[in-house]
Amino acid sequence: MPILTPLAAAGLVATMVGAGALHVWLGEPPIPNLVLGALAAFVAWGRFKKAPISAR
């Protein structure tokens, strides 16, 4: 099921947004969350728009 790759990446973006908010709330720098969230957003964008995986 090729649609699962971009959906999983989008879910990881949502998780990283929540984790980043928690880190800010705790007074910690959210740099790792920003990096991982940006990478996941890139994968989600790439698989939704740029190069979707076709079904067999």
Domain ranges of the chain: 4-50
Q: How many CB atoms lie within 10 A of CB 47?
A: 20
Q: Is the pLDDT of residue 56 over 80?
A: no
Selection from 47, 38, 49, 54 nearest residue 5 by Cα: 47
Rounded to the nearest 10 degrees, the angle between the axes of helix 4-25 and helix 31-45 is: 160
pLDDT digits (tens, 9 = 90+) for 11-51: 999 999 999 999 999 999 999 999 999 999 999 999 988 88
